[in-house]
Structure 1
């Protein structure tokens, strides 16, 4: 007769349960799953198996994120610490963020910026991070990007304004 021993929840499972609890809460869990998540979050000495942790994680990944009152609610340029983001609206109406990646030309020393999609960054950006119009224009000038659409600017007049000719007509 053989017996099977349940493995304890892994450090990675515990990490994700804690991270998702901070972002989504645990109220969507019921009964046994709620108790297991509580045991992990409360750092009790109760044994939580890997299978139990997997069950909790499945439900937590499927749950929506908590709405924070200060979540970003409109497109624009945002600065979080030293990182600059352009928040845009997708075709489905959801907001997402692109991070400004700065490259320096070794010969000329000129800085250029490219906006790159940054998965999950939108959840870290808050309204209080929004750049003023003047700050956004300076950013556009400094890195040669249009502050409205994020396109790379080539024309010296456009670079000096921080906005491309097409977007300048619309603003």
Structure 2
């Protein structure tokens, strides 16, 4: 019969667990945590159990987490620069990011989209573009704000947005 060797929670694990308790929203009270802390003090909490507790806390929301604006198109101003940006959600981690839209320097067929560090934290719902504002931007620049394509059809140029994107954005 095989025997297993007891491995207590390590000091780095314990420190990380304490840090997670401070930074995450969790259902534990000091009363419910007391037996765990006592087991740690006695060196009786297994490392495997600590790993499970850490994994559980990592899945819990941050305390004081900012809620960011919904995906869409927004006016922004940052460091003296202003313009239009798109907020997108990363499908892998659900984090939202802002990308500024720039006219192509080479006169290309598509807008240039650049990640804009910190811009998302400055946006509010009041900055969101309406369909009319998005169309006005398209008329001014000659590019569709939704798909970044150069508007060439006379009707799309007059509307400032292509017919497919107008349906999506409305």
TM-score range with shorter-chain normalisation? 0.3 to 0.5
Provide TM-score, normalisation by structure 2.
Answer: 0.47
Provide TM-score, normalisation by structure 1.
Answer: 0.47
For the pair shown, which has the larger CA radius of gyration, 1 or 2?
2
